[in-house]
Each structure stands twice: as structure tokens, then as C-alpha cells.
Amino acid sequence: MVWGTNAPQTRSFTALPGKIMKRKKVYRPGVRDGYDMWAPSYDDTPNPLVALDRRYTLNCLTAKPAGYILDAGCGTGAHLLALRRAGSQPVGVDLSMGMLRIARDRLPGIPLAQANLNEGLPLARGVFDAAVCSLVSEHLTNLRVFFADTLSVLRAGGRLVFSAFHPEMAAAGVEANFEANGCEYRLGAEHHTVEDYVDYIHDAGFRNVRCEEYSVDAELVERIPRAKKYLGHPLLLIIQALHPKCSAV
């Protein structure tokens, strides 16, 4: 995602010598509509958070890459593609039909469904070997429902890999945003804490919960120069947990 700080939603102007310079107009279309609008250009947007996520998140599944894997919040299907190439049988759900259309065109044959993760998963219980939820944390308003439902669709010993926009960034006012047609669209960020995630995951019934955070490094700045302002700061949080019937990570 592209990240920016909170700003007024009204039109404003800055006076410069001899002229008036108009600032970009800022809109807040809501999460579903915003990602529908962003979908066609999402994968073309240089994004340090997404780059970190694609570097680290799926590596957490290397111990068992095969089997049925849920991608909750699959977006345009980048992780679905990687999972299929690794020999898994992935299934994707997402709130945005615009994102799902991109994923469907890219990955014909992979089961996809629209779902609001805050309202539960429209999936059979106890069928998945693992669940990945990548970079939708800041849009989760009902952590209790999401983590409980995720546990219910996993088999005994199933693994959860939950990658999140680091709470420190959200607390600082940074949020998902993109530009289109000369306007800026901001999609908000819920102010959860690391403790919120860990507590709700544990309360849902997961065990062996562990967290790791990942910061912007020089290699990432070389690839995405505008990431320099985040150099050394944690952007990505990954939490792993297991279905309680398995005792070792």
C-alpha cells in the first residue's frame, strides 16, 4: 500500500508568490469502494510494506507448503499464485470484488469468494491445513470474530500466518492511500496494538503464538527509494500460531 498521514478531507490552498497552488483533494471512499477503485493499479504501485510482506510472509509456511491453504484477504492474488506454484491448493476470499476480478483473471481455476472478514468466513469448517491473512489487519474491526472463524476452518494442527501493518505506524497516523485522477484516496487504519492481536488470537483458541517484526533495510530502499523515510523502522508484523491440537511450531 501507499502510506500517508491523516489530512483534512476538504479542499485547501497554499498561497505562493504571485499565484495560488491548489493541493490535491482528499477522499475517503470506504474500504470496499476504495480497494475496488485501487485494484487496476494496485500491483503497479511501488510499496515498501507489500515488498516486505512478499519477502517474508509465505516463508512461514515452508514447513508444510502443500495442502489446502486459505488466503483471507487475497487481494489481486499474489500469494495465491505463489502458493499454487509451491504445490498447494489455495482458496482466496476478499471484501473487494475489484480485487477478486484481477485475481480471477490472473488465476483461473483457483476458488475465490467475496467475504467480509469482520462478519465471518463462508467456508466449510475444519478443512484447511493453513490460513494466511496478509495486510488487511488495519481494516479488521472485529478481531474476535475473525480469529475465531479462522480457527474453525483449520484442521487440527493447522497453522495461522497473520501479517499486519505494524501498529506503531498506524498509531503515528500512517494509513493506506493511493492516487488517481489527481486526487488522493485514503482508506484508514484501525489502531490495534500488538497485544490486541496476540490476545484475540489466544482467546480464539490458538496456541504457540509468536511475533516477529520486520523493518525497512538498505536493500528495500534501493528497490523503492521513497522507503528511505522508513529506514530502520518496523513496517511489518508477522504473527504465527497453531491449532491447539498441535504442540510444536
Helix axis angle for 78-85 and 48-56, nearest 10°, is 20
pLDDT of residue 72: 97
- Strand 67-72 and strand 128-134: pairing? parallel
**Measured distance CA(28)–CA(181) in Å, rounded:** 15
Model confidence, pTM: 0.85
Q: Which residues in the chain come in under a pLDDT of 70?
A: 1-23, 62-66, 246-249
Nearest to 36 by CA among 224, 234, 187: 187
At 17-73, the pLDDT tens digits run: 444 445 678 888 788 998 998 889 888 888 899 999 999 999 998 655 568 999 999
